[in-house]
Each structure stands twice: as C-alpha cells, then as structure tokens.
Structure 1
Amino acid sequence: MRRIERIFVSLNEVAVIGLLASMTLIVGANVALRYTTNHSLPWADEAARYLMIWMTFLGAGLALRMGGHVAITNLHDFISTRSQKLLRAAIVVTLLLFFGFMVYVGWQYMERARFQQTPALRLSFRYVYAAMPVGFSLLIVHLLLIAKPFIHAGLYKQADGATENAPGAANG
C-alpha cells in the first residue's frame, strides 16, 4: 500500500511540475518573441492561465498532505488531547464532505460548459472546468491517505514518507 501511495504522490508531483514547466516555457517564449520580433503568441496568455488553474487544483492535495494550507490552532491548542483527536476527526469528516460536494459541483460546471469554447485556443471549457472535480477528487484521496496519522497524533506526511507534527499538535 505504501508503494502505491508513493507512486500516487510522485505522479501528482510530476504532473504539477510538468504544468509549471509548461507554463514557464510558454510565458518565456511569448516574452522573448514579443521583444525580439515585436509579435506575440495570441494563445499564450490563455494557455498559461488554464495551466495555472490545473496546477492549482492538482497541487492542492500535495499541500494538504504536507500541512501547507492555512490553519488556525487556537481552539486545538486549548483543549485536551482526547478532544483534539475528536476535533481532528470532525475536521477530516467535514473536509471529506466538502471535497465530495465540490467534486459534484465541479462536474456540474464541467457539463454546463461543454459547448462553450475558449477564445484563443478553441478548446471546450469542459477541459478547463475538469480541473475542479479532478483536483477535489485528488484532495479526497490525499486526505484519506493521511487521515489516520492526522487524527491520532496530528501528523502530516511529508513527500519522503516521514511525518511531522501539525502546527499546535501535541506529541502523542
């Protein structure tokens, strides 16, 4: 199971890095063309924007798994260890419900936009909006993979498989 999880995380990381690299190359080429030939690629800004959208949604699960999202820990720090576990369990359940709802909403957006096309690339907006259900589905998988250590000890998994305490989490 751990090997499958490492492969999953690695593929997710490669996808985010690939999107960032593509975005960088497109924007860099456009800037170079603009200043050397006085012409720019008419589709570069649009492509970079959609790559950034996809990068954001695909990278959100990686940030979640490493504790990279904003956390307010005042209540968590104040309550007992048992109550902290219950609070973390409630947070996980709430996030799973929210992420599931957002997969549904994203799918609805994607279906509604299937006949619209982007101005420059002439792609169906379905492919742009697909980032939302795909990204939230990945968030669900990442959350399920880290839920047990997070609930029991407030630990986040790092990319190398190590764990680290959540901000404000007590040891144990």
Structure 2
Amino acid sequence: MLERIERALVACNRWLLIVLLLAMACIVFANVVLRYTTGDSIVWAEEVARHMMIWVTFLGSGLVLRFGGHVAIDNLHRAVSTRSARFLRAVVVLGIAGFCVFMTYFSVLYVWATRFQTTAATDIPISYIYLAMPVGFVLMLVHLLFVARNYITAGDYAQSDEMNADAAASI
C-alpha cells in the first residue's frame, strides 16, 4: 500500500512539473514571438513565467533529493567503517528533515504575512506564489522519508528506469 502511494506521489509530482514547464515554455515562446513580430508583448507573460519557475523549483526539489541530484559531499561516509557511515548518513537525514520542518514552519509564516499583497500585472495574491515554499519543503520531507531507510543503511538513493541523479539534477 505504501509503495503504491509512493509511486503515485512520484508520478503526480513528475507530471505536474512537466505541465508547468511546458506551460511556462509556451508562454515565454509566445511572448518572444509576439514581441519580435508585432512589437508588443503579453503584459503578464514575464510575471507568470517567473511564478511558474518558482513553483517548478520548489516542487522539483523533492524529486531531485529522492534520486540524489542535489550537490553532496560523500567522501567522509565512504571512507569510514560501515557503522560510522550509517551514523553519519543518519545525522545527514535528521539534519535535512529538521531543515525541511524549520523551513516549512517559517515559510508558512511568510505566506501568511504576504496574504494581502498582490502581483503587479495579474493582481493575484503573492501568497499563492509563496505557497510554493511550504508545499515544496513538505514534499521534500516526504520524499526524504521514503528514501531515508535505504540511504542510511546502504548509502543509495531511489532507483528509477526513467530517472537518475544526473537527470534529477537537470529538472
């Protein structure tokens, strides 16, 4: 059951990123074409593309973590004994989990503080854009929890036929 939930989460996360990147690319492309063919541009295109990029960054960070795509220095835990390496990896997982919880809490406060501000071109609440932060940190924590046991015991990240660390880092 838990494995099915994990697969569904990864699939939904991937498809959401794909749709957001595709929409962002189409908006930017249309804006560039209009600017060079008519001399006018879409007023809201740059702002919306920037907001989509923020969402893509935070939604993609969990997948990148899951497949080992974030920058990591792993020389120390590879140079020490197996028991010490497991301890070091457990400390790393606890540190990342603590960071995600800390950042989730403070980003929720930040979203709450910006709830009455609106964007210039589209007049939508800025809190909708900043909501990407707590959502992204919670997703990162969930992805971390799914891979933590295997990472601590063996030093391995999640494996996928479609995704590896290099592909995850390029999201």
TM-score (norm 2): 0.92
Unaligned runs of 5+ in 1: 165-172
Alignment of structure 1 residues 55-94 onto 2, 5 Å: 55-94=56-95
Change (3 A) 1:73 1:89: same
Q: Which residue of 1 aligns with 2:48?
A: 47
- Root-mean-square deviation over aligned CA pairs: 1.6
**Is 1:132 paired with 2:166?**
no
Identity of aligned residues (%): 51
Distance 1:162 1:81 in 2: 27
Determine if contact 1:65/1:146 at 8 Å carries over to the other structure: yes
The runs of 5 or more residues in structure 2 that have no matched partner are 166-171
Structure 1 residues 128 and 141: CA distance shift in structure 2, 3 A: same
User: Match for residue 152 of structure 1?
Assistant: 153
* Partner of residue 12, structure 1: 13
Deviation per CA, 1:9-35: give whole Å up to 9, x if none.
Answer: 000001111110111010000011111
Letter in 1 for 2:124: L
Q: Give the distance between the partners of 2:55 and 2:139, measured in 1 at CA.
A: 12
Change (3 A) 1:116 1:149: same
Provide the secondary structure at the position in 1 that maps to 2:140. helix
Query: Are the aligned partners of 1:110 and 1:129 in contact in 2 as well (CA < 8 Å)?
Result: yes
Q: Is this contact kept in 2: 1:26–1:48, CA < 8 A?
A: yes
Say whether the 8 Å CA contact 1:155–1:163 is kept in structure 2. no
- For each residue in 1:111-167, what CA deviation from the matched residue of structure 2 results, as whole angstroms up to 9, or x when unmatched? 000011011111101101100000000001000000010000011113349999xxx
Quick check: 1:27–1:45 contact (8 Å CA) kept in 2? Answer: yes
Q: Quote the residue 2:102 is aligned against.
A: 101
**In structure 1, C-alpha distance between the alignment counterparts of 2:164 and 2:154, rounded to whole Å:** 10
Q: Is the 8 A contact 2:147 2:158 kept in 1?
A: yes
Q: Normalising to structure 1: TM-score of the pair?
A: 0.91
Give the letter aligned to residue 55 of structure 1. V
Task: Show the counterpart of 2:121.
Answer: 120
**More displaced stretch, 75-84 vs 105-114:** 75-84
> What's the CA shift for 1:76?
1.6
- Tell me the number of residue pairs that the alignment of Structure 1 and Structure 2 aligns: 164
> What amino acid sits opposite 2:120 in the alignment?
P
